[in-house]
């Protein structure tokens, strides 16, 4: 096995001193149909790069894999390792959430550390995580997730300048660490980053706190949503979530999964996301529902137990989270409208046509189905759909969809609720209907008060 790596991601991390007395941890690794090499790479790196007295045990939870070598061969192999490795078998395919719950229940360390089954821990990965939990048992900590190539399996450093967020569709996304968080740490990059959400695969949590805060939502299937559910829950219920930048663990980001989603990928993820939206997001769940047509029809089961948990823990509202933990969120804390933007003269609606960043915003017959025709005019006076904002950088347009930058500039719009005009502040021109040349895109014209420059901003709700 290759010699232990010592990364110099941050030289100041190397000189940090951690207390001798740290809580020990169980490492819980769940897997379904994992490859032998990646699974063993994970297990060996945990054993070789964790101080023995801090590692209580390794628990492998087999989520009903179908590969033979993951049965007896694996069992016999791990018997020879110098740290106790326990294998638990799920009777049926349960998904990572219930598999982790089973592993956690069988573990006995003071801290539980969850890892995906295709990771590599680096030397010194564990001490910073445990030290932070010792300082504050209500802090849930993630390492920096480095990138292991899924082609060559080489190891590449991840970034300490990004943290976890999410978009209207409730996809987890990495975003730049904002200036306010850099300022809070006074520029010391060895200090933990407070992160709004976590990726979910790799983190450590105090065992008792894991129980107190309500473990996981066992009603979630297979994969997805559990990371945001836990992130919201931690913040809203009095804990905190951090990326400990002196701890590095690599993870194979795969292009394809080696497993199926019984019932369909979309259905499973939508169900999980509905559970987290219904329990934690209050009225802000509308952003998710309105941009994902059809999702309101997905049955999400019974969430009453999770709602009771939220009450018992006296958790704060989602608006508190948006204001205090994630002010740079793609979901605006305050907004004037959420729905279609309709032209009075042509009766057509702004439509992003499912296009991506850097393309012109379109205009199309209004369909009332949300999705591509949903925009929010926010209290910051941007017109956004998810993480893209209407942006004009030249006189007379075009109107482009660009990543929202929260800096006003070319993304600042003034809506006049009496004249119904949308005036672009920097250019002092108004949003207008399409020209003869291109009937598919709105134009920018000098403000004239004509009907073609009048727009209705709707607060639309989609029926269940």
What whole-number distance in Å separates Cα of residue 34 and Cα of residue 51? 26
Q: Does 116 bind ligand UDP (CB under 6 A)?
A: yes
In a 13 Å sphere around the CA of 198, the CA atoms on its Cβ side amount to 31
Determine the Cα–Cα distance for residues 200 and 233; give it in Å rounded to an integer.
Answer: 13
Residue 253's H or E segment, with its range, is none
Smallest gap from Cβ 101 to ligand UDP, in A, equals 11
Site string for ligand UDP, 194-213 (x = CB under 6 A): -------x------------
Q: Cβ closer to ligand UDP: 93 or 403?
A: 93
Can you state the angle between helices 226-236 and 265-280, rounded to 10 degrees? 10
Q: Choose between 116 and 286: whose C-beta lies nearer to Mn ion.
A: 116
**Window of 58-66, 143-151, 193-201, 298-306 that interacts with Mn ion by CB under 5 A:** 193-201
The nearer residue to Mn ion, 196 or 201, going by C-beta atoms, is 201
* Beta strands 341-343; 383-385: pairing state: unpaired
Number of residues that bind ligand UDP (CB under 6 A): 16
**Smallest gap, in angstroms, from Cβ of residue 270 to ligand UDP?**
16
Is residue 146 near Mn ion by the rule CB under 5 A?
A: no
Q: CB under 6 A: which stretch of 93-101, 284-292, 385-393, 420-428 binds ligand UDP?
A: 93-101
Q: Site for ligand UDP (CB under 6 A): which residue of 96, 111, 230, 241?
A: 96
Q: Kindly report the number of other CB atoms within 10 A of residue 109's CB atom.
A: 20
Does 415 engage in binding with ligand UDP (CB under 6 A)?
no
Query: How many C-beta atoms surround the C-beta of residue 160 within 10 A?
Result: 18
Query: Treating both helix axes as pointing N-terminal to C-terminal, what angle do 36-48 and 72-79 enclose, rounded to 10 degrees?
Result: 20
Instruction: Name which of ligand UDP, Mn ion, none residue 232 binds, using a CB cut-off of 5 to 8 Å depending on partner kind.
Output: none
Mask: binding to ligand UDP, 269-298, rule CB under 6 A, as x and -?
------------------------------
Rounded CA gap, 210 and 108, in Å? 13
Angle at 276 between CA 310 and CA 219, to 5 degrees: 90
Structure tokens of 233? 């829950």
Closest CB to Mn ion among residues 142, 401: 142
Considering only 62, 116, 391, 432, the residue that binds Mn ion (CB under 5 A) is 116
Can you tell me the distance from the alpha carbon of 162 to that of 178, in angstroms, rounded to the nearest whole number? 9
Q: Please check whether residue 213 is in contact with residue 313, taking contact to mean a CB–CB distance below 8 angstroms.
A: yes
Q: Coil, strand, or helix at residue 439?
A: coil
| Per-residue x/- track, 7-46, ligand UDP (CB under 6 A) | -----------------------xxx-x------------
Interface residue with ligand UDP among 27, 46, 47, 95 (CB under 6 A) is 95
Which two tokens mark 381? 């006076």
The answer to whether 266 touches 221, Cβ cutoff 8 Å, is no
What is the binding site for ligand UDP (CB under 6 A)?
Answer: 30-32, 34, 63, 95-96, 99, 116-117, 201, 222-223, 254, 257, 259
What is the binding site for Mn ion (CB under 5 A)?
Answer: 116, 201
């Amino acid at each position: 096995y290759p010699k232990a790596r010592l990364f110099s991601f941050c030289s100041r991390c190397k000189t940090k001193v951690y207390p001798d007395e740290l809580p020990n941890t169980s490492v819980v690794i769940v897997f379904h149909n994992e490859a032998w090499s990646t699974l063993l790479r994970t297990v060996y790196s945990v054993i070789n790069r964790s101080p023995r007295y801090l590692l209580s045990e390794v628990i492998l939870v087999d989520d009903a894999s179908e590969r033979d070598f993951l049965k007896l061969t694996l069992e016999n192999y791990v018997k020879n390792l110098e740290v106790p490795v326990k294998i638990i078998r799920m009777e049926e395919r349960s998904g990572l959430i219930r598999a982790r719950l089973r592993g956690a229940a069988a573990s006995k360390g003071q801290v539980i550390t969850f890892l995906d089954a295709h990771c590599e821990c680096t030397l010194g990965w564990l001490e910073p995580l445990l030290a932070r939990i010792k300082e504050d048992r209500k802090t849930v900590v993630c390492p920096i997730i480095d990138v292991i190539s899924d082609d060559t399996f080489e190891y590449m450093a991840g970034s300490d300048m990004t943290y976890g967020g999410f978009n209207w569709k409730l996809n987890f996304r990495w975003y730049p660490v904002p200036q306010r968080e850099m300022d809070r740490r006074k520029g010391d990059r060895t200090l933990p980053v407070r992160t709004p959400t976590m990726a979910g695969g790799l983190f450590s949590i105090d065992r008792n706190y894991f129980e107190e805060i309500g473990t996981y939502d066992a009603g979630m299937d297979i994969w997805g949503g559990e990371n945001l559910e836990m992130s919201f829950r931690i913040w809203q219920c009095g804990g905190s979530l951090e990326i400990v930048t002196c701890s590095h663990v690599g993870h194979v980001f795969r292009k394809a999964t080696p497993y199926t989603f019984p019932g369909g990928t979309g259905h499973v993820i939508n169900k999980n996301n509905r559970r987290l939206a219904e329990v934690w997001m209050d009225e802000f769940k509308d952003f998710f529902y309105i941009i994902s047509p059809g999702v309101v029809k997905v049955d999400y089961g019974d969430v009453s137990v999770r709602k009771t948990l939220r009450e018992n823990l006296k958790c704060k509202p989602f608006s508190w989270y948006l204001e205090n933990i994630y002010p740079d969120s793609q979901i605006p804390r305050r907004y004037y409208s959420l729905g279609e933007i309709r032209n009075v003269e042509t009766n057509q609606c702004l439509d992003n046509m499912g296009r991506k960043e850097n393309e012109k915003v379109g205009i199309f017959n209004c369909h009332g189905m949300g999705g591509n025709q949903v925009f929010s005019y926010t209290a910051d006076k941007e017109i956004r759909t998810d993480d893209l904002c209407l942006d004009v950088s030249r006189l007379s347009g075009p109107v482009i969809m660009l990543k929202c930058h929260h800096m006003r500039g070319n993304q600042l719009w003034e809506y006049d609720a009496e004249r119904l005009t949308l005036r672009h502040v920097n250019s002092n021109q108004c949003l207008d209907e399409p020209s003869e040349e291109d009937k598919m895109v709105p134009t920018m014209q000098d403000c004239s008060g004509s009907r073609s420059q009048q727009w209705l901003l709707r607060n639309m709700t989609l029926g269940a």
